[in-house]
Amino acid sequence: MTKLKKCACIETLYTELPFYDRFQAARSDGFAAVEFWNWTDKDLARVADAASRAGIAIAGFNGDADFSLVNPAHRESYLAFLRRSIDAARQVGAPSLTIHSNALGAGGVVSDRCDELSDTVKLCAMYDALKDCARLAEANGVRLNLEPLNVTTDHAGNFLKHTRMAVELTRLISSPMLMVLYDAYHMQLNEGALCDNIRAYASQFGHVHVADAPGRHEPGTGEINYRNVFACLEASGYAGLLGFELMPKTTTSEAVRAIMAL
């Protein structure tokens, strides 16, 4: 059984409950932390209170929304929104934020595909913007986790889609406050070779997301051998959280049962 601590994404788990009741439900089921997607539609005072009452940590949430790292015209707007997100994270005691290459709309649809820009422009714009992002993170003590997304099923048109690119970007910038969010579901769809990539790049992982593929349901419903994946993460020195960002195949209670069985 893995020793890594478990984090529940309460945007996808416990959806049968009112949002602010999900903190206690996750703690009661044995999760060490929770995460969610957006903060602008939440009452941050109630978020902090619900987590405090439940005795559960808030791992983080998305730090970007309507603007893209890969679009040079968005740079100042992106950084302005990130500053607000950092303030929100500090307000609720969250140590990290998740960031992406492209703006994401409802349901995670890529809303700014930047098709008019070359890959060279996108990559250079993202690198330059990430340097500024890292400086903001360092100044405020909130880590940023850069997440590649799958482009086959959920996020067509997203620019950052491979572990290696995310790792190389963050290594070049070389800030302890800029890491990679490794989502095994997304990466199984985009590149496979999960354990090979974990062994090569785990030192740069700030957070890990878990869902089976295909389907994005709980482990055991798809093709990923998560016992091997977790063992590989531990052997590679990863000591962060496992964030279960998945859609229950039937009910939350059944999904949690499968999660805890690991």
How far, in Å, are 45, 152, 191 from residue 109 at the CA level? 29, 12, 20
Residue 262 is predicted with a pLDDT of 86
User: In whole numbers, what is the pLDDT of the chain averaged over residues?
Assistant: 97
Q: What does the pLDDT look like over 10-34, one tens digit per residue? A: 999 999 999 999 999 999 999 999 9
Domains and CATH numbers, the chain: 6-261 (3.20.20.150)
Mean per-residue pLDDT, 232-254: 98
Q: What does the pLDDT look like over 190-225, one tens digit per residue? A: 999 999 999 999 999 999 999 999 999 999 999 999
Residue 1 pLDDT greater than 70, yes or no = no
85 Cβ contact partners less than 8 Å away, ≥ 6 residues apart: 39, 61, 62, 63, 64, 97
Residue 2 pLDDT greater than 70, yes or no = yes
Between strands 205-210 and 178-183, the pairing is parallel
Tell me how far apart the terminal alpha carbons of the chain are, to the nearest angstrom: 6
Mean per-residue pLDDT, 244-250: 98
Is the CB of residue 86 less than 8 Å from the CB of residue 95?
Answer: no
Burial of 9 (0-12, 13-18, 19+ CB in 10 A): buried
**What is the largest distance, in Å, between two alpha-carbon atoms of the chain?**
49
Is the CB of residue 160 less than 8 Å from the CB of residue 166?
Answer: yes
Does the predicted TM-score (pTM) go above 0.85?
Answer: yes
The number of beta carbons lying within 10 Å of the beta carbon of residue 235 is 12
